[in-house]
Amino acid sequence: AGGQTKTGGVIFVQDNRISIWSVGDLGNVGLNGEYQGEPQLLCDIRHNGDVMDMQFLDQERIVVASSTGTVTVFHHHQNNQTLSANQRWEKAHSHVDQDTSCGGAACTGVICNNPEIVTVGEDGRINLFRADQKDAVRTIDNADSSTLHAVTFLRTTEILTVNSIGQLKIWDLRQQRNEPSQIFSLTGDRVPLHCVDRHPNQQHVVATGGQDGMLSVWDIRQGTMPVSLLNAHEAEMWEVHFHPSNPDHLFTCSEDGSLWHWDTSTDVAEKPSFLHQGGRSTTYFSHNTINQSVVSAWLSNDPTKDRMEITNLIPNQTLSVNSLDILGPCLVYGTDAEAIYVNRQLFA
């Protein structure tokens, strides 16, 4: 994270960087799944503003969202391990001031489906870019009157956004009108939603997390409210991710310093626990305590799937866990301790 300090008329901007690391292969794994041997910094490059979000566009290109409102595509040259700025959309997000001069508004989220890139921001704008095209393919100005915090693809032509007043919206990018095709919302206190993910196989199942740390599961085929609200973290939930190839497993991380693994797979009782340092906290919900409609493991009435196991993978952490990603047996997360952790043996 960055910031700037002013001294005697000179502004020093903290040096933010985009870095590519190698964490070696699966051969170097210790008993607890931690990576043995030092991760190698392959290359890095300066980045203007705080990095709000990052996504790989393909094997060599990374799309980065900045607090300045700019969206940059960086190219990782693997032959000589360098990074270069490949393409930049300046002030893709901006606040229009009274005097019509534009100040940048943070780009809060980016999602890629090569060659398409969708961005959202504090200005409530949605942009659709195409890699290697200079101008935006589509811009929905004032798509939202509040801050948009995150975006993900629902289908190739549809996206989901979450905002700061507890709403989940579906946008059909084929439609020319600048209105959402559907709006869902949390009832009662309009708690800001910070993150959203869609089930990889069952596109009607969507998970969101917000300022109150609750996990909400939605079935976008029915109703306008979540199917289930699950007590989760004690502070903001920053990210939620279904496991891409094993979506009975879901992962969330929070300002409260915890990273939870939610397991709805059937044979919970027989499964060995995750290997992790510290204790194991397991919570079983019966379907009555959640909701009778929690036909995915997340929405199931199947009696074999009547409980969920929750494990905090980092029980002794106190500083915020800001970001996480998962692929196969690998979990990566970053914290306010200015450290990045890699667990190579998620399913021990």
Mean pLDDT of 292-309: 56
Q: What is each CA distance from 128 to 139, 150, 158, 194, 261, in whole angstroms?
A: 6, 14, 11, 20, 33
Please state which of the ranges 61-75, 195-209, 215-229 shows the lowest mean pLDDT. Answer: 215-229
Helix (H/G/I), strand (E/B), else coil: 44: strand
As given in the structure block, the two tokens for residue 73 are 């595509």
Mean pLDDT of 291-319: 67
Q: How far is the C-alpha of 337 from the C-alpha of 135, rounded, in Å?
A: 38
Kindly state the DSSP code that residue 290 receives in the 8-state scheme.
H
Question: Which of the given ranges, 100-114, 151-165, 328-342, has the highest pLDDT on average?
Answer: 151-165
Query: H-helix or E-strand containing 288?
Result: helix 287-290
From first CA to last CA, the distance across the chain in angstroms is 33
Enumerate helices (H) and strands (E) in the chain, giving the number of each.
Answer: 1, 29
Which residue do the tokens 């100005």 mark?
A: 141
Kindly state the DSSP code that residue 287 receives in the 8-state scheme.
H
The whole-number pLDDT of residue 12 equals 53
Q: How far is the C-alpha of 147 from the C-alpha of 211, rounded, in Å?
A: 13
Q: How far is the C-alpha of 26 from the C-alpha of 256, rounded, in Å?
A: 30
Q: How far is the C-alpha of 164 from the C-alpha of 180, rounded, in Å?
A: 16
The 10s digit of each residue's pLDDT in 225-251 is 998 889 899 999 999 999 999 999 999
The whole-number pLDDT of residue 271 equals 41
Residues in the chain: 348
12 vs 340, higher pLDDT? 340
Q: How far is the C-alpha of 329 from the C-alpha of 345, rounded, in Å?
A: 5
9 vs 109, higher pLDDT? 109
Q: What are phi and psi of 97, to 5 degrees?
A: -80, 170
The whole-number pLDDT of residue 265 equals 84
Residue 273 has pLDDT above 60, yes or no: no
Mean pLDDT of 94-100: 66
Residue 179 has pLDDT above 70, yes or no: yes
Residue 277 has pLDDT above 70, yes or no: no
Residue 26 has pLDDT above 70, yes or no: no
Kindly state the DSSP code that residue 302 receives in the 8-state scheme.
-
The whole-number pLDDT of residue 276 equals 32
Residue 141 near residue 133, CB atoms below 8 Å: no
Residue 107 has pLDDT above 70, yes or no: yes
Q: How confident is the model at residue 25 (pLDDT cuts 50, 70, 90)?
A: low
Cα four-point dihedral sign 256, 258, 259, 262: negative
Residue 163 near residue 147, CB atoms below 8 Å: yes
Kindly state the DSSP code that residue 39 receives in the 8-state scheme.
P
Query: H-helix or E-strand containing 66?
Result: strand 61-66
Q: How far is the C-alpha of 143 from the C-alpha of 152, rounded, in Å?
A: 15
pTM of the entire predicted model:
0.84
The whole-number pLDDT of residue 346 equals 84
Furthest CA-CA distance within the chain: 68
Q: How confident is the model at residue 267 (pLDDT cuts 50, 70, 90)?
A: low
The whole-number pLDDT of residue 301 equals 46
Q: How confident is the model at residue 291 (pLDDT cuts 50, 70, 90)?
A: very low
Residue 119 has pLDDT above 80, yes or no: yes
- Whole-number mean pLDDT of the chain? 84
Q: How confident is the model at residue 175 (pLDDT cuts 50, 70, 90)?
A: very high
Residue 69 near residue 121, CB atoms below 8 Å: yes
Who's near 61: CB < 8 A, 6+ residues apart? 73, 74, 75, 76, 86, 131
